[in-house]
């Protein structure tokens, strides 16, 4: 059987996807806009990123009293999303309670707190998993001990910034030491904890990122290619901006400049401003500049387009050099194991001795994938 090269979606929407986003975000739904979108897509073969918005579109249509032939299908997606979100939220919050009992404090990330703070309806935004951020000073082994012991989960995958665990029903829980691999510097997240805001879910108070840090995270996480069209970041940021009393966009800019990550922030906000999805007040964050090393520009530019073999080969070195430089500027200890040890962490190996064989296998796999796609 012939193998095909995997498809990738870039961060910015196509014209058809933008029509859908405008339906979700517009103050009111116009009939001609709805007709234009439905005429341009086949509901049975709708790509995954757009399917994620069917629950939100269902809520918009029903609130406006609009009857539509697709409404029963959208209602099914809404109910499915509502049930799944409630289930994973309940289990995830139980996990937070268990971790707190074991002395591990957490910040809620992504879908769960966003739904509670900004969306209002538990079925409006699908959640793929449950994300938590804990202090990077907490030993990784301590988290694994809790997750595979009292929590009754098993480890699915390790990565530089987070480890993924799954429960008995294959729900995923991402345990973050850092928001993203490009920010995997010891101690970098202290300010996130200082700025954390409270969120009440199921009658209990928890902690999550500030509105500005949610936006910062959403921009950088969203501005990279994905096997599912990464549109959700756009609606997340627009919803946060519209529901927050006052977003301090200057803080977003300062974060981007301090951590040399202005590229994706400026790129993403540029689209949001040009499309009218966020207001003029966001221009201060879009203007964020600051020193950006050539290696950083190469790294982030490579994340917003389908990955080539060359970029796959360069990315580990670019990431390693970036994190070493950020560690020096933050006056924190750099990694002592050198580039080989970094690769072992990045690729989830037992030690540097396994790096040469792993690198060779990765190169062969990429070459085979390239030949299969030609």
Q: What is the pLDDT of residue 367?
A: 75
217 contacts 255 by C-beta, under 8 angstroms: no
Q: What is the pLDDT of residue 8?
A: 82
Q: What is the pLDDT of residue 3?
A: 47
Q: What is the pLDDT of residue 1?
A: 40
Residues β-bridged to residue 109: 131
- Give the integer Cα–Cα distance in Å for 27 and 260: 35
Q: What is the pLDDT of residue 132?
A: 98
298 contacts 314 by C-beta, under 8 angstroms: yes
**For residue 45, what are the CA distances in angstroms to 40, 42, 50, 214?**
12, 6, 10, 32
Question: Closest by alpha carbon to 99, among 163, 142, 50, 62?
Answer: 142
How buried is residue 115: exposed, middle or buried, by Cβ count under 10 Å (0-12/13-18/19+)? buried
Q: Which two tokens stand for residue 98?
A: 């268990």
Q: Is 148 helix (H, G, I), strand (E, B) or coil?
A: helix
110 contacts 220 by C-beta, under 8 angstroms: no
Q: In tens digits, what is the pLDDT along the chain, a chain of 374 residues?
A: 444 455 788 999 999 999 999 999 999 998 899 999 999 999 889 999 999 999 999 999 999 999 999 999 999 999 999 999 999 999 999 999 999 999 999 999 999 999 999 998 999 999 999 999 999 889 999 999 999 999 999 999 999 999 999 999 999 999 999 999 999 999 888 999 999 999 999 999 999 999 999 999 999 999 999 988 889 999 999 999 999 988 999 999 999 988 989 889 989 999 999 999 998 888 877 776 655 678 888 899 999 988 887 888 899 999 999 999 999 888 777 666 789 888 988 888 888 888 889 888 887 877 776 666 55
């Amino acid at each position: 059987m012939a193998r095909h090269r995997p498809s990738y979606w870039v961060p910015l929407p196509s014209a058809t996807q933008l029509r859908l986003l405008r339906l979700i975000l517009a103050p009111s739904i116009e009939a001609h806009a709805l007709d234009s979108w439905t005429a341009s897509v086949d509901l049975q073969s709708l790509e995954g990123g757009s399917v994620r918005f069917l629950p939100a579109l269902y809520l918009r249509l029903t609130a406006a009293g609009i009857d539509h032939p697709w409404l029963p299908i959208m209602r099914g997606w809404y109910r499915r999303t509502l049930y799944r979100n409630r289930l994973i939220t309940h289990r995830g919050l139980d996990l937070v309670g268990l971790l707190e009992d074991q002395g591990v404090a957490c910040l809620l990330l992504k879908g769960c707190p966003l739904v509670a703070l900004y969306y209002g309806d538990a079925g409006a935004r699908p959640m793929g998993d449950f994300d938590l951020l804990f202090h990077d000073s907490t030993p990784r082994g301590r988290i694994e001990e809790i997750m595979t012991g009292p929590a009754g989960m098993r480890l699915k995958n390790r990565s530089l910034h987070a480890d993924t665990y799954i429960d008995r029903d294959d729900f995923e829980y991402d345990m973050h030491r850092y928001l993203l691999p490009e920010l995997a510097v010891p101690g970098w997240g202290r300010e996130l904890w200082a700025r954390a805001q409270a969120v009440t879910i199921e009658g209990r108070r928890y902690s999550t990122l500030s509105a500005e840090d949610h936006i910062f995270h959403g921009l950088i996480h969203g501005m990279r290619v994905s096997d599912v069209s990464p549109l959700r970041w756009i609606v997340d940021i627009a919803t946060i901006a519209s529901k927050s009393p006052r977003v301090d966009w200057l803080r977003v800019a300062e974060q981007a400049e301090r951590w040399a990550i202005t590229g994706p922030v400026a790129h993403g906000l540029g689209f949001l401003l040009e499309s009218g999805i966020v207001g003029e007040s966001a221009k201060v964050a879009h203007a964020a500049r600051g020193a950006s090393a050539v290696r950083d520009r190469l790294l982030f530019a490579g994340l917003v387009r389908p990955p080539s073999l060359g970029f796959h080969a360069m990315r580990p070195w670019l990431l390693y050099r970036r994190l070493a430089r950020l560690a020096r500027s933050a006056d924190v200890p750099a990694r002592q194991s050198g580039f080989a040890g970094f690769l072992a962490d990045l690729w989830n190996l037992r030690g540097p001795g396994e790096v040469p064989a792993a690198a060779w296998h990765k190169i062969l796999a990429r070459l085979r994938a390239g030949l299969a796609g030609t």
